[in-house]
Structures are given as C-alpha cells and as structure tokens.
C-alpha cells in the first residue's frame, strides 16, 4: 500500500509540475484578501497591541488550504467518469493507495501555497514569528487540515458521482466555514450563535493553532489542542473517504 501510494503520489505531482499555473491560480482569492482586506482593515481594527495583519495571516493560510483542497474531488470524479478508476481497480494497485495518494498530493500542494502566502505576508510587514521550528509546526497544521478537506472532497465525489453538487459542497467548504471561525475576527467579537458554530468548526482550531505558534509569544497549550482536533478530524475524514471508495468498488 505504501509503495503504491508513493508511485501514484509521484504521478500526480508530475502532472502538477507540468501545469503549475493551476496551483498558482488557486492563490488569487487568498492574495486578494491579504492585499486588499488586510490593508483596508488594519487601519481601524483595534486588537490591543497586536497588528491586524499578523492576526489575519493565519486565517489567510487556512483560506488557502480550503481553496486548494476542497476541489480535490473534482479530478477524481472526472477520472471515475472517464473510466480511469475502473482500469485501476482491475490492477493489483492498493485500493487505499488510490485515495490516499490523491489526498497527500493535495496536502503537499497546499503546504507550498501556504508557504508562498506566508512569504507575501511577511514581505507586506506582518509581524510573524519566523522561527523555523514554529514555521514547521504551523505547516503541520496546514498539512492536517489539507488532508481533512481533501479527503472530504474525494469522499463526496465518490458518493455523489456528479460534478454540480460537488461544486456546491466545495463552495460551502470555503468562505462560509471561514466566516464561522476565528479566522478574520476574534471570537469575542462574534454573536453568541456564531461562537457556538465556531466551537465545533475545525477551521477555528486550525487558525488558533497556527496563530499560537506564529505570534511573538507562542502558546503551546493552544497549539496542542488544535493539533489533537486536526489529527482526529483528518483521520476521520480519510477513513470515511476510503470506506466510500471501497463501497464504490463493491
């Protein structure tokens, strides 16, 4: 299974390297938020001693993950429609590897995208902790969140077997979930009913964990809580996607 996953992962990475513009295209909307909204709000949003740009950057990183991973299932659905997956199913390749390689490929992409966004934010003057260890911890959260949402996207592609509802679900997994989290505003500024949704939103835990290590005073307790929640979320999402794929095969 591991060998099959590695070979398929390399295949998808080669395809991505041949079309790098698609990877860069998904950065457009997060860049717009960072360049326009970050500059617009930083002059009048008061967060005590904290710079709003530094506060917003973790939310932009998570937004980058969502835009990069929530559409992962579209390519799987197109391969199912084209009959490519059927050909793979009659080969000796591991069934788990077919899903896992796609999820890992999507997660590797979003790590590269998130790192680019981080460099852009730093160049714009955001006050961030650029310690390599803390950057690695932030990228771990990005990786886990990418696995979770890429697995959900692939799972929905397998279950729905249609592109239209998959696109609708992809849209619901981006901006609505961002707004129901602490990505753009502190939790204390939210209405009570949004705070309740935020408490069960994995994006909130991802944003808080990244913010905890990229701030000038890292908070390991907040990071550990986010790491635990994201590990459970990504594991459950991946298990569901693999189960859905095995049901498709049967």
Question: What does the pLDDT read at residue 213?
Answer: 93
Q: Tell me the pTM.
A: 0.88
Domain that residue 43 falls in: 2-249
Classify each residue of 24-41 as buried b or exposed e, where b means 16 or more C-beta atoms within 10 Å of its C-beta.
eebbebbeebbeeebeee
pLDDT 10s digits, 34-69: 777 766 666 655 555 567 777 888 988 898 888 888
The answer to whether residue 151 scores a pLDDT higher than 90 is yes
Confidence of residue 250 (pLDDT cuts 50, 70, 90): low
Domain count, the chain: 1
Instruction: Return d(Cα 116, Cα 123) in angstroms, integer.
Output: 11
Instruction: Name the residue among 159, 158, 125 with its Cα closest to residue 35.
Output: 125
């Amino acid at each position: 299974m591991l060998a099959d996953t590695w070979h398929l992962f390399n295949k998808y990475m080669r395809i991505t390297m041949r079309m790098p513009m698609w990877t860069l295209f998904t950065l457009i909307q997060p860049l717009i938020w960072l360049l326009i909204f970050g500059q617009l709000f930083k002059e009048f949003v008061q967060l005590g001693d904290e710079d709003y740009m530094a506060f917003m950057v973790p939310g932009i990183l998570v937004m980058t993950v969502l835009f990069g991973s929530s559409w992962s299932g579209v390519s799987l659905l197109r391969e199912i429609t084209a009959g490519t997956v059927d050909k793979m199913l009659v080969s000796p390749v591991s069934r788990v590897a077919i899903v896992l390689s796609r999820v890992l490929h999507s997660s590797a992409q979003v790590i590269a995208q998130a790192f680019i966004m981080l460099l852009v934010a730093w160049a714009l003057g955001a006050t961030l902790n650029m310690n390599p260890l803390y950057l690695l911890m932030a990228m771990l959260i990005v990786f886990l969140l990418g696995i979770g949402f890429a697995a959900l996207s692939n799972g929905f592609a397998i279950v729905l077997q249609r592109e239209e509802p998959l696109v609708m679900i992809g849209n619901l997994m981006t901006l609505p979930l961002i707004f129901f989290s602490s990505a753009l505003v502190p939790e204390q500024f939210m209405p009570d009913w949004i705070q309740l949704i935020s408490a069960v939103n994995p994006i909130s835990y991802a944003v808080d964990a990244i913010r905890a290590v990229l701030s000038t005073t890292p908070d390991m307790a907040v990071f550990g809580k986010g790491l635990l929640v994201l590990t459970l979320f990504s594991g459950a999402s991946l298990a569901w996607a693999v189960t859905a794929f095995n049901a498709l095969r049967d």
